[in-house]
Amino acid sequence: MKEGDRTPLTQDRERDRLSEQQEVSDLLNDRAIFEPPLPKRAKRRRALKIWSPFVVLALALGFLLVRGLGNALVYFRTVDETLSMEATLGTSTFRLEGVVVPQSVTTNNQGGVDFQVSGVDGRRISVIDSANPPQLFQANLPVVLVGYLSHGTFYSNQIMVKHSSSYIAAHPSRVASLGGKKL
């Protein structure tokens, strides 16, 4: 059969064959069909990239919660606790609770007062306060001080006076006397 002798049926077959070849060629070039699946290691790496920021964020949030709640749970340290922990406290700010020692209160040149506080066992800490003490501040009253400890002296910038009878009733061992009178 000569080239010019092709019948329409032969031409249709030829066209179909070329079309099938083109489809096979397109399929072979299509990477989506023949691309191998990701290995397990690559899947793990991809998951790690996705989840690692969330893990870091959760750890940071957990650290902040533990640190914040840990500081919030300890309202104050007693004189005895402070003296036993003196080496580990450093110069961190905390609250110190004690009873103002009689005849230890003097005014200083910063507008505050210098005095001593004692604990249950009679141990004492010297206090240098840089703020004006509250009006109810006096010897023999329990106080809570805000500040830091350095070389055995507590440097305070706030004095809170505990003066209610409910406090004294709740903690009789912490209050030696009130206004000079024995309880």
CATH class of 77-182: mainly beta
Domain boundaries for CATH 2.40.50.140 within the chain: 77-182
Q: Which residues contact 158 (CB under 8 A, 6 or more apart)?
A: 131, 145, 146, 147
167 is in an annotated binding site: yes
What is the structure's pLDDT at 183? Answer: 41
CB-based contact 83:123 (threshold 8 Å): yes
Q: Return the closest-CA partner of residue 78 out of 171, 181, 183, 180.
A: 171
CB atoms within 10 A of CB 104: 16
Residue 181 pLDDT class (50, 70, 90 cuts):
very low
Give the burial class of 154: count Cβ atoms within 10 A of its Cβ; 0-12 exposed, 13-18 middle, 19 or more buried.
buried
pLDDT of residue 178: 45
- Sign of the CA dihedral running 35, 36, 42, 46: positive
Give residue 31's pLDDT: 57
Sign of CA dihedral 162, 167, 169, 170: negative
Residue carrying the six token digits 């070039």: 29
pLDDT in tens, 147-159: 998 888 999 989 8
Give mean pLDDT, residues 28-52: 72
What is the model's pTM? 0.53
**Measured between alpha carbons, how far is 133 from 130 in angstroms, rounded to an integer?**
9
- 53-112 confidence digits (pLDDT tens): 888 999 998 888 777 766 555 578 888 888 888 888 877 888 899 999 999 988 888 778
